[in-house]
Chains A and B, each alone.
Chain A
Amino acid sequence: MATQDIRAGRLSQEQLTDNFSDHHPPLSSGNAIVEADRCYFCYDAPCIEACPTAIDIPNFIRKISTGNLKGSANDILSQNIMGGMCARVCPTEVLCEAACVRETQEHKPVRIGDLQRYATDRFFESGETLFERGKPTGKRVAVVGGGPAGLACAHSLAVLGHESVIFEAREKLSGLNEYGIAAYKTVNNFAQREVDFILQIGGIETRTNHQLGRDVKFDDLRQEYDAVFLSIGLGDVNELGLESEDIDGVINAVDTISELRQAENLGELPVGRRVVVIGGGNTAIDISVQSKKLGAEDVTLVYRRGAQQMSATWKEQEFAKSSGVSIKYWLSPKRLHSENGHVSRVEFECTNLNPDGKLTGTGETRFMEADVVFKAIGQSLQDKIFSDSEMPDFANGKIVVNNEFETSLPGVWSGGDCIGSGEDLTVQAVADGKHAADSIHNKLMSQ
């Protein structure tokens, strides 16, 4: 007797289409100009400093006001080739918009993310180009991993005149932009349109379905290419560390998010009636909200610490709550209960911080009924991909780099989620890729 209620088609196609449309519609041109005029054009603006890619924000906003949209897009994209995606997914509330002086003044920052989206959307619609390949240097660089860091690196290398080959394990480029970000944040196949824009510069060869360790050897790349850039992300999913995690209904959130992004028909995706999500980051938020949008009746996001400690920002937490997700803090998973080999409920222990600030269990327990349990407690680096090649130095499970994004191995650079910066943001990955390309260029041209 199966008690689990997991099925597809809980909502009508119409409702699904509505639920997965752009959750944050773009600014109209009139609104964009009004919003742009709110920018004070600060001197040495704090928002620029708060942006990992140091976009000259007041300048691009001023260009929206004056109708110089190409100039505006150029200010954004020359600093951040994925300025379009970052406009959609950046946690601006803790970056540029947190630093905006209007936040200080009136708790109403200039909507920088929305303006950035306006400028880049309009530019993409124009079909114009901005960047040209540099004079060929004859140097070739292997870029391992075609996510934001890899693409940004390859694009910068092309501008500098180097050729590159991107090795991507999956079928499509763009990494988490394509497989990891919630669907309602990037509608209309934007990730792939952005990839097309990046690749149109030329000089970037792409080999998808090429996984390091399986289809291509790290040592070979080091020998064949003038430099290697590792932007391999985090391929493994962290386990809860509980008994019987392999029972039915206990799923890695990233796998389901990826399936959802690739699904042709959302109506065919099965979703549980009662969903429990364990984690505290954006993946936890995304799977919670998307489950709700697919028609789950109860979605509970459970985090073992408080709202302040969650890596998902206050705005993301608010968004989840307003989407109907219930968030429970200070509960740590202890046991997965099953019926007929399928998860049926989760046992949690209440937690708090002891006087030393360390997380401890209180001994009290709570139970939650569940048809599906999503694990979203982080990802880790898949080190098996180096197989028997010499590996770069690791620390805390990530690749160690210096300020120039050089690893411990000569000729090997790295950036993005797989390095130790700890900022699992698209914008940070793009910044890493760009800076690494500059470093590779300097090194190759001085040889």
Chain B
Amino acid sequence: MADLSCNVAGIKAPNPFWVASAPPTDKLYNVERAFRAGWGGVVWKTLGLDPPIVNVTSRYGAVHYNGQRMMGFNNVELITDRPLEDNLKEIKQIKKDWPDRAVVVSLMVPCTENDWEFILRKIEDTGSDGVELNFGCPHGMSERGMGSAVGQVPEYIEMVTRWVKECSDLPCLVKLTPNITDISHAARAAKAGGADGVALINTVNSIVSVDLDLMAPEPTIDGKGSHGGYCGPAVKPIALHMVTEIAKDPETNTLPVSAIGGISNWRDATEFIAMGARGIQVCTAVMHYGFKIVDDMIDGLNNWMDEKGYETIEDFRGAAVPNVTEWQYLNLKYDIKARIDETTCIHCGLCHISCEDASHQAIREIKANGGRRFEVIDNNCVGCNLCMFACPVPNCITMERVDTGTEYQNWTTHPNNPMRVDQN
């Protein structure tokens, strides 16, 4: 049994799986259920100043793809719509009942030092383990100068983070918005302001669909719609990239990261840890399937770690980061070709047509004996992987390395590169 305990910016939990700030962490009832199911921590749904905000009905939109429900998901919900005192009382209660679990409170108040000080005093009184500054919410609050309106301006991130750190010793995670061009600036600003760590990504600006009868974006509220925050499995690659950017940046690579974005299972989570994350936050998968999914997350990660011989999260955390490089340093001499396993091929022809219409005409159809088979033309195959991905049969198409494995040349020294550096 591996040790799954984690420490994110001084906030400790028995496992790295936390429920992200969202409807599942809006009140004692849900959080109690989350902890009973085994979650290592929660980030309580964002608190603001009273009076509470008001939500619309019809709040979520979804992208279903090829039979998979909620592959992408968006919302136009705001921060908690319950009175501040109700939340505080329940946070205090849950921390008392579950002292070993991480209870972090997400916060969003107007950009004045007094307001931040006011709410931090309240949070300190609850005994919770830390705060997460919500600089990411892309709708509703940003129009009022909060959420992503702060997160999109590095100077504001730094300023507010500094206020928070000056008035409270609570560990402070800054939650970043992906709705920017380069996440590094936001992460550096958080660090400069004294943040103990960052949490990312918040949701992505989105319109998930248009109702073609109403001619309005979905979710539709009385004939109108608004952009919302996109999340779910569809955004995982975006989140993984941004987490990787922070891990690669010498200015931020020691900054603790709590990774969020489409994480649905232990494998997703492990990929983020391999890219340097110390903790994981999950929301959409819980909203889809309930808290029970944490069972496989814990079990799957544990079994994988046992199999690999890792005893703690730190044993493999960030292990993939050194292998992330820039395109110009990739080996141009590396060469792979598609190989089709005739024994498992079902002759659907998708490898052929994808290559024929969209790639390099490297798979020919051969009709014989009333049937057909498909053959790779090595000279045309550029090793792009398209056929392997189009093939519906697992492992039927594999890519075989055909270069000698001894040569190396990258773009920086390639003759076709007008800016090449001289090898000598």
Q: Which residues of A contact B (CB under 8 A)?
A: 33-34, 37-38, 40-46, 65, 101-102, 104-105
Closest Cβ neighbor of B345 among chain A residues = A104
Q: Which of A34, A37, A101 is B347 in contact with, Cβ under 8 Å?
A: A101
A43-B346 contact in complex given A33-B67, A37-B66, A105-B393, C-beta closer than 8 Å: no
Q: Which residue of A lies closest to B352 (CB)?
A: A43
Alpha-carbon gap, A42 to B391, bound state (A): 10
Query: From A34, which residue of chain B is reached at the shortest CB distance?
Result: B67
Is B365 part of the contact surface with A, judged by Cβ < 8 Å? Answer: yes
A-B contact pairs, 25 of them (CB 8 A): A33-B67, A34-B67, A37-B66, A37-B67, A40-B348, A40-B392, A41-B350, A42-B348, A42-B350, A43-B348, A43-B349, A43-B350, A43-B352, A43-B353, A44-B349, A44-B353, A44-B372, A45-B348, A45-B349, A46-B347, A65-B66, A101-B347, A101-B348, A104-B346, A105-B346
State in angstroms the CA–CA spacing of A43 and B374 once bound together. 12
B184-232 interface with A by 8 A CB criterion: none
Q: Which of A33, A34, A38, A105 has the most CB of B within 10 A?
A: A105
Supposing A34-B67, A37-B67, A40-B392 touch, asked if A101 and B346 sit within 8 A by C-beta, the answer is yes
Interface string of B332-372 (1 = CB under 8 A from A): 00000000000000111110110000000000010000001
Q: With A and B bound together, what is the CA distance between A247 and B349 in angstroms? A: 59
Q: Taking A33-B67, A37-B66 as contacts, is the C-beta distance between A42 and B349 under 8 angstroms?
A: yes
Which residues does chain A contribute within 8 Å of B346, judged by CB atoms? Answer: 101-102, 104-105
A-chain residues with CB within 8 Å of residue B349 when the two chains form the complex: 42-45
Which of chain B's residues has its CB closest to A58's CB?
Answer: B348
Chain B interface size range:
10 to 19
- With known contacts A34-B67, A37-B66, A104–B347 Cβ distance under 8 A: yes
* Contact mask for chain B residues 311-350; partner A; CB cutoff 8 A; 1 contact, 0 none: 0000000000000000000000000000000000011111
Query: Which A residue's beta carbon lies closest to that of B367?
Result: A44
How many Å lie between the Cα of A65 and that of B67 in the bound state?
Answer: 9
Given A40-B392, A101-B346, 9 other A-B residues pairs in contact with their CB atoms under 8 A: A33-B67, A42-B349, A43-B350, A43-B352, A44-B353, A44-B365, A45-B348, A45-B349, A101-B347
Complex: how many Å from CA A45 to CA B353? 11
A40: which B residues are within 8 A, CB to CB? 348, 350, 392
Question: Which residues of chain A are within 8 angstroms of B392 by Cβ–Cβ distance?
Answer: 40, 105
Q: Could you tell me which residues of chain B, from 31 to 77, have a CB within 8 Å of some CB in chain A?
A: 66-67
B405 CB, min distance to chain A CBs, angstroms: 34
Chain B min CB distance to A267 (Å): 44
On chain A, the residues within 8 Å of B353 by CB distance are 43-44
CA distance A36 to B66 in the complex (A): 9
Most chain A CB inside 10 Å of its own CB: which residue of B347, B353, B365, B372: B347
Contacts of B393 in A (CB 8 A): 105
Complex contacts, A33 vs chain B, CB 8 Å = 67
Identity of the chain A residue whose Cβ is nearest the Cβ of B353 in the assembled complex: A43
Chain B residues within an 8 Å CB radius of A101: 346-348
A105–B372 CA distance with the chains assembled, in angstroms: 15
Bound form: Cα–Cα A255–B22 in Å: 70
Residues of A within 8 A of B372 (CB): 44
Q: Hey, which chain B residues are within 8 Å of A65, CB to CB?
A: 66
* A316 CB to nearest chain B CB (Å): 25
Cα separation A44 to B353 with both chains bound (whole Å): 9
Q: Give chain B residues whose Cβ lies under 8 Å from the Cβ of A44.
A: 349, 353, 365, 372
Q: B352 — which chain A residues lie within 8 A by C-beta?
A: 43
CB distance from B209 to the nearest CB of A (A): 13
In the assembly, what is the distance between CA of A46 and CA of B347, in Å? 9
- A74 CB → nearest B CB, Å: 20
Query: Which residues on the B side are within 8 Å of A37 (C-beta)?
Result: 66-67
Residues on A with C-beta less than 8 A from B365 are: 43-44
A residues near B347, Cβ cutoff 8 Å: 46, 101, 104
Closest chain A CB from B410 CB (angstroms) = 36
Report how far A42 CA is from B354 CA in the complex, Å.
11
Q: Which residue of chain A lies nearest to B68 when distances are taken between CB atoms in the complex?
A: A37
Closest chain A CB from B366 CB (angstroms):
12
Per the bound structure, the CA–CA distance linking A42 and B365 in Å amounts to: 13
- The smallest beta-carbon distance between B8 and chain A, in angstroms, is 39
Cβ distance B179 to chain A, nearest Cβ, rounded Å: 30
Contact with A along B401-421 (1 / 0, CB 8 A): 000000000000000000000
Q: Give, as a whole number of angstroms, the nearest-CB distance from B155 to chain A.
A: 47
In the assembled complex, the CB of A315 is this many whole angstroms from the nearest CB of chain B, namely 21
**A41 contact set on B, CB distance < 8 A:** 350
> Restricting to B369-389, which residues have a CB under 8 Å from any CB of A?
372
Minimum CB–CB distance from A104 to chain B (whole Å) comes to 4
Hey, which chain B residues are within 8 Å of A104, CB to CB? 346-347
In the assembled complex, the Cα of A34 lies from the Cα of B393 at a distance in Å of 19
Which of B348, B349, B352, B353 has the largest number of chain A CB atoms within 10 A? B348
CA distance A104 to B350 in the complex (A): 15
Task: Report the minimal beta-carbon distance from B112 to chain A, rounded to whole angstroms.
Answer: 51
Choose among B346, B365, B393 the residue with the greatest number of A CB atoms under 10 Å from its CB.
Answer: B346
Q: How far is the CA of A269 from the CA of B77 in the complex (A)?
A: 65
